[in-house]
Amino acid sequence: GEYSVGRAVASDIVIGGDQSVSRTHANIKVRTVNSIARNAENSKKSTKLLDLKVTIAQTSRLGTFINGTRIDETVSLNDNDALRFGAGQSMLRLVRTHVCVAFSGLQKSIKNSLIALALPLGCEVFDEKTEFPARLTHIIMPQIKITLKSVQALAVGACFVSDAWLKAISERASSSTFVLPNEKIFMPPISETENNLTPELFTPNPLRNFLFAELHFLFVDSSEVNLFFDLCQIQNSHEPRWILLR
């Protein structure tokens, strides 16, 4: 999208009370570009993503400054850049919120439509052919069930939301005052088969990072050990002690 900055009330981003800012002072453009995320442990593995590129062009002789440096042409912006307009103290700071989503319990057609919705918004979508990402921020489910993926999401502190949360982002994306929708409002219902669970169990909790600290485990199957350590690695927990009984 494109956002105008200036004193004019018709501007997308209105800066009032500063006469050093022109009525139409600058334009900010946000567009999607192709990007590749490399696997940190295996450089040959990568995931194709759509990323966001943000540029700004000044349309005023009164000056636009990026991190204190005046710009005279269209320039690309980076996360946390400070933008100053005119000679006063009218400033904005570019802050990007990283969103990495995974899907669980959805029909393939619905999942594909949600992926098509998420990527242009700049969301990273978990590729199930790669390792579960510790950077996951949200898991989208129609209803909450105990599955491997939901346990992994709990371990990394991800939020459980319904597809309505992602649709709400899409509806708000063009707003100059955009904020992420409140995840608590969009938490999916608990599955009827999980009648012993409560919503409070699925809210992010940093204490889970130490869930396995100083515990001892006995295993009778090597596959259980592999699953257990996958969770520990995702969780970045203190390494527990274990014994495999053969």
C-beta contacts of 44-48 below 8 A and 24+ residues apart: 45/130, 47/124, 47/127, 47/130
User: Which secondary structure element, helix H or strand E, spans residue 230, and what is its range?
Assistant: helix 222-235
User: Which secondary structure element, helix H or strand E, spans residue 222, and what is its range?
Assistant: helix 222-235
In the chain, the domains with their CATH numbers are: 2-93 (2.60.200.20), 100-204 (3.40.50.10190), 207-246 (no CATH)
**Do residues 150 and 156 lie in contact, with contact meaning Cβ atoms separated by under 8 Å?**
no
Q: What local confidence, expressed as pLDDT, does residue 234 receive?
A: 61
Q: What local confidence, expressed as pLDDT, does residue 242 receive?
A: 60
Q: What local confidence, expressed as pLDDT, does residue 157 receive?
A: 86
Q: Residue 82: beta bridge partners?
A: 93
What tokens appear for 4 in the block? Answer: 């105008």
Q: What is the pLDDT of residues 115-165, one digit of tens each?
A: 888 887 778 888 776 667 778 899 999 999 988 888 888 888 899 999 999
Q: What local confidence, expressed as pLDDT, does residue 170 receive?
A: 86
pTM score, whole prediction: 0.64
Q: What local confidence, expressed as pLDDT, does residue 244 receive?
A: 57
Query: Going by C-beta distance under 8 Å and a sequence separation of 6 or more, which residues neighbour residue 87?
Result: 20, 62, 63
Q: What local confidence, expressed as pLDDT, does residue 59 receive?
A: 82
Ordered per-residue pLDDT tens for the chain, 246 residues: 788 888 999 888 888 888 889 999 998 887 766 554 444 444 444 444 445 677 888 888 888 999 999 988 888 888 888 999 988 888 888 777 788 899 999 999 999 999 888 887 778 888 776 667 778 899 999 999 988 888 888 888 899 999 999 999 888 776 656 778 899 999 999 998 887 888 888 888 777 666 666 667 777 777 776 666 666 666 555 555 666 565
Quickly count: other Cβ atoms within 10 Å of residue 169's Cβ. Answer: 18
Q: What local confidence, expressed as pLDDT, does residue 241 receive?
A: 61
